[in-house]
Chains A and B, each alone.
Chain A
Amino acid sequence: MAIVKTERHADMPPPVTQTGVIGWMRENLFSSPLNIILTLVSIYVAWAAISSIVSYAFINANFAGETRADCTGSGACWVFIKARFGQIMYGFYPVEERWRVDVGVILAAIGLFLILSDVVKEKKWPAAYMFVFVPIACFFLFSGGYFGLETVETSQWGGLFLTLVLASVSIFVALPLGIVLALGRRSTMPVVRMLCVGFIELIRGVPLITVLFMASVMLPLFLPEGVNFDKLLRALVGMSLFSAAYMAEVVRGGLQAIGKGQTEAASSLGLGYWQSMGLIVLPQALKISIPSIVNTFIGLFKDTTLVLIIGLLDLLSIVKAGTTDKEWVGMATEGYVFVAAVFWVFCFSMSRYSVWLENKLHTGHKR
């Protein structure tokens, strides 16, 4: 009697060592002796780093208390940050006026959300709100002097608030200026082109500090007698000119990516230079350079810390001032770690946004 199986045997599952978690680990972590060593070493490094960070920042840290005497743990003493939180956020802005900063920031945040997110498709009104209403409202809110609001000198501005003001005003000035410079650099008029190239390359060739020094030391010399600029405004001039040069190069990259055919087509339709730029070329060029613009803005945001050197009390410099307070000796690590964490949250979320945007704008051309 022949024993022949007539029906097909059911497929066996692959061996457990080839699939699932074990298979993945064999493939990715333990494929060769070298790889095993590498894995073990890096797991050890990661474990050492994570455990020491967690024990420093959380397990052995102090959260409760008011003064230096409450710092009893071997880890971080976040009491320092807590005690100075108001200053770190607002600088020396008068305590009873701080709601004005909050209102301004909330107004700007609403505008940002409307413009950046997908919720509203028609961007005309949000843009008008963001770029016309919010700056004017914030100006009056922050500096006061009108509508019964008490005047607050810019020398009292500080902390995270000042950092945000520096970054947003600079980008607000730098973007339009950068677009003009980029158009100038591609102009057919040699004088205009040379001026723009000269400005862009000069600024890009020197460090921001020298530009800030120039703004803070040389600007007063350039102005007629009696005209006095305040320190914040001088820093803003320096930062804006500096980032305008970088913005110009980003926009130029976008302009170069738009084929010549677009301009020619616009010309053949009878559009003039500004019409063809404003209606045809720039909308496309700016759209493809948005991710790079966001990246430049991240750089600008990080660079605002340099105003410490010319004596403005931004987030970093107010924390630095706090660490030199003799009531709080030895708080340097806590202070700088906190500043680093704040900047990281802002910059990392912006860079994620830029990646998201890139994917969104890229839909048509993806392979």
Chain B
Amino acid sequence: MTTDIQGHATGDSKLRDPRIRAVIYQIIVITIIVLFAWYVAHNTIVNLDKRGIASGFGFLSQPAGFGIGIVLLMDYSSQASTHLDVLIIGIINTLAVSLAGIVFATIIGFIFGVLRLSKNWVVSKIATVYIEVVRNIPLLVQLMFWYFAVLSTMPLVGDSIKFGENVYINNRGVNFPAVIPSSGFWVIPVALLIAIVLSIGIRNWAHKRQDLTGQIFPVFLTSLGLIIILPVLAAVVMGFPFNISYPDFGRFSINGGWSLEPEFLALLFGLSIYTGAFIAEIVRSGINSVSHGQTEAAHSLGIRPSMTMRLVILPQALRVIVPPLTSQYLNLVKNSSLATAIGYADITALFAGTSLNQTGQAIECILITMLFYLAISLLISMFMNWYNKRIALVER
């Protein structure tokens, strides 16, 4: 082989050109993948054929024929409802526990993150112990602990622990009074909505006025007042359009009132305590990332410590906190699939579990379940990216 003066290969060795090589490599990769996919598909078809399983999504309209423990917002009967209904119930249950979990985990995380940075030695040590203990124990173990060791060992319905007048705790969960809307109830939520819209309007107006004149308007108190007073006023005007149903104890069952099942509670406790510990660490590192000079500067301007935290430190810390916080939220939603182990009826337990076993449609069931989680992941990251952009540093 001869080479010219630049070191390029000449003559027969086109193979030495990196661009041509890249094309060849990619063709090889594609060929391998296609062959592999074909092989897998072929095997699958043969296997399904042999087991007599018809592929496709026809099974979604077949009746499910099994009972579900927790059904929200839907009517479900084991005879009439289809696997599609099962899927929807699973999705609703997953979203319900995830949403509640995200709210509580965020609250726990921010509280303990700030506590861990406290100058008070005892307080910061307690926060440290909580974080280090909870982070290093698998979530599944914690869920099993909450479900089998705590909530299942609560007293029987007959000897429920009473909290106040009408809240009962027993081995079937927590029972508390329910609010049953009657005609004209819609006015109250509408009043609440109006109050919220008004509060946002007032906030914007107050910001503008403060920018122009420097006068401060008590936005928080006004909003709080509006949000409390308007719905109450609406309720009074409409003559209290709801009934309160108190839990009523029979010998073995409870009628009336609302209840939270132990499965839901165990999952909620587990998810929020576990994720809360991770969020606490994120919050701590976020606050630590704001240099101490910011605090000193704020103090020397005469800004009170609480205002310093709210107006100076947190807005800067949030920029560091939000991206890892997003991935914690995603983890929480994905971890809610551990519900399977304690029998909470989420999408994985219902659809990739019971439905799959009943119909044998393994590929379809798992595919749909995975697509659901992918979609949720995508939605949460899109929302958090939008929020992240909103609070990001605006550089000139």
Query: For the complex, is A353 an interface residue (Cβ under 8 Å from B)?
Result: no
Contacts of B149 in A (CB 8 A): 332-333, 335-337
Instruction: Find the A residue at minimum CB distance from B146.
Output: A336
Contacts of A340 in B (CB 8 A): 137, 141-142, 145
Contact (Cβ within 8 A) B370 A343: no
Contact (Cβ within 8 A) B141 A221: no
Stretch of B63-71, B232-240, B256-264, B332-340 that contacts chain A = B332-340
User: Please, what's the 1-or-0 string for A33-70, where 1 marks a CB less than 8 Å from any CB in chain B?
Assistant: 00100110011011000000000000000000000000
Query: For the complex, is A131 an interface residue (Cβ under 8 Å from B)?
Result: no
Contact (Cβ within 8 A) A306 B374: no
Complex Cα distance A271/B33, Å?
Answer: 29
User: Please, what's the 1-or-0 string for A150-194, where 1 marks a CB less than 8 Å from any CB in chain B?
Assistant: 000000000000000000000000000000000000001111100
Determine the interface band of chain A, counting residues with CB < 8 A from chain B: 35 or more
Chain B: interface secondary structure? helix
Contact (Cβ within 8 A) A191 B138: no
Query: Contacts A188-B22, A189-B22; is A28 near B138 (CB within 8 Å)?
Result: no
User: Please, what's the 1-or-0 string for B314-339, where 1 marks a CB less than 8 Å from any CB in chain A?
Assistant: 00000000000000000000110110
Contacts of B142 in A (CB 8 A): 340
Instruction: Find the B residue at minimum CB distance from A191.
Output: B26
Query: For the complex, is A22 an interface residue (Cβ under 8 Å from B)?
Result: no
Contact (Cβ within 8 A) B153 A332: yes
Contacts of A333 in B (CB 8 A): 145, 149, 153
Chain A: interface secondary structure? helix
Contact (Cβ within 8 A) B43 A224: yes
Query: For the complex, is A195 an interface residue (Cβ under 8 Å from B)?
Result: yes
| Residue among A46, A208, A306 facing the most chain B CB atoms (10 A cut-off) | A306
- Of all A-B residue pairs in the complex, the 3 with the closest CB atoms, nearest first, are A347-B136, A302-B138, A207-B334
The 28 listed contacts between A and B (C-beta, < 8 Å) are: A28-B120, A29-B120, A39-B120, A39-B123, A42-B122, A45-B126, A46-B125, A192-B25, A192-B26, A195-B33, A202-B374, A204-B377, A205-B374, A207-B334, A213-B356, A214-B366, A218-B363, A221-B362, A221-B363, A222-B40, A225-B43, A316-B140, A316-B141, A323-B148, A333-B153, A343-B137, A344-B137, A348-B132
Footprint of B on A, CB under 8 Å?
A: 28-29, 31, 35, 38-39, 42-43, 45-46, 188-192, 195, 202, 204-210, 213-214, 217-218, 220-225, 298, 302-303, 305-306, 308-309, 316, 320, 323, 330, 332-333, 335-337, 339-340, 343-344, 347-348, 351
